Copies of this chain bind each other. A is one copy, B any other.
Amino acid sequence: MFKKILYPTDFSDVSKKALEFVKGLKEAGAEEVVILHIVDMRHFTGPDIGSALDLAMLEEAMENRAALEIEALEKELTKCGFTVKTRVEHGIPFREVLRIEEEEDVSITVIGSHGKSNLKEMFLGSVSEMVIRKAKKPVIVVKR
């Protein structure tokens, strides 16, 4: 029921709270965690943004930062006894989460209610909302 967990993260504080839930599922039979981060470059395209070279450098910097964060998460979960797989994908976050949910055939997804870019006023972040609506398997929503 909780065997293989999908844990999408944008490294926000709510994502960190969700991580505690992932750990808590170990005793309920969770064995494997897929840590997923999506590099979303949509905010950086438009007339104001510099050259394609700048964009490529920015994307590389984001990937490098993500790699460091994910490495730390991987260590933390491995120490808890999980088998850990990490994935960094590019695209529209909710679509990637749903795609990986199916591709990895996970048992459950554990997600924070809000991402980094979500407004304080929103009750639910847009990525989380779409994931909850369209996920095939159960979703644990951890609130901020």
Contact = CB atoms under 8 A, between A and B. Distances in A.
A29 B29 contact: no
A27 B133 CA distance: 28
A134 B132 CA distance: 14
Given A24-B2, A27-B27, A27-B29, A137 B143 contact: yes
Interface string A29-60: 10000000000000000000000000000000
Interface residues of A, number: 25
Nearest to A17: B138
Contact of A141 (B20, B123, B138): B138
A94 to B, nearest CB: 12
B139 A141 contact: yes
Interface of A: 1-2, 20-21, 24-29, 113, 123-124, 132-143
